Each structure stands twice: as structure tokens, then as C-alpha cells.
């Protein structure tokens, strides 16, 4: 099913008690970048992909506006 670009969101969730982050994305571009980094999706349907990976695999650079997810 095709969705509009405004609906192709990416959500990153983490909490302080857990060592993993959860990522949901409806963007095929974002999901392919995550998969190429070595993380496999936990779930996939017609709308998006769900990933779980360690917190230390996420690099967030707000000044450069980049988010890098390293492999497991």
C-alpha cells in the first residue's frame, strides 16, 4: 500500500531502564539503511518496519542532523 511522504515517519523510542532502543519506520529509505547496517526487522507489515537494537549502536548528531545506527 502506498502512503504519502508525510506519513512516512520514523519513531525512535528508548527508556533509561532498558539497554535497547525500539525503532518504527514507515520509510523504505530509512528501513533499507538500518537493514544495511546489520539490524534485522522484528516485524514488518504493509505500513512499516519495527527494529530493536542496542542503545550504544545509535549515534545521534543533532548539529549535523544525522542519525547513524550501527550493526549489532
Q: What is the mean pLDDT of residues 27-35?
A: 90
How many C-beta atoms surround the C-beta of residue 14 within 10 A?
13
For residue 46, tell me if it sits in a domain.
yes
Q: Which residues does 33 contact at the CB level (< 8 Å), separation at least 6? A: 69
- Number of domains comprising the chain: 1
Assign 3-state DSSP to the chain and report helix, strand, coil percentages, each to 5: 20, 40, 40
- Would 47 be classed as within a structural domain? yes
C-alpha cell at 36: 544495511
Q: How many CA atoms lie within 13 A of 25 on its CB side?
A: 16
Per-residue confidence band for 70, with pLDDT thresholds at 50, 70 and 90? low
pTM above 0.85, yes or no: no
Task: Please state, rounded to an integer, the average pLDDT across all residues of the chain.
Answer: 83
- Band of residue 63 on the pLDDT scale cut at 50, 70, 90: low
Quick check: is 16 in a domain? Answer: yes
Confidence of residue 5 (pLDDT cuts 50, 70, 90): confident
* Residue that wins the pLDDT comparison between 64 and 39: 39
CB 54 within 8 A of CB 69: no
Amino acid at each position: 500500500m502506498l502512503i504519502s511522504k508525510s506519513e512516512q515517519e520514523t519513531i525512535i523510542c528508548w527508556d533509561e531502564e532498558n539497554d535497547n532502543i525500539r525503532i518504527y519506520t514507515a520509510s523504505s529509505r530509512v528501513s533499507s539503511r538500518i537493514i544495511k547496517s546489520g539490524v534485522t526487522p522484528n516485524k514488518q507489515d504493509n505500513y512499516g518496519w519495527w527494529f530493536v537494537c542496542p542503545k550504544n549502536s545509535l549515534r545521534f548528531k543533532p548539529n549535523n542532523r544525522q542519525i547513524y545506527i550501527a550493526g549489532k
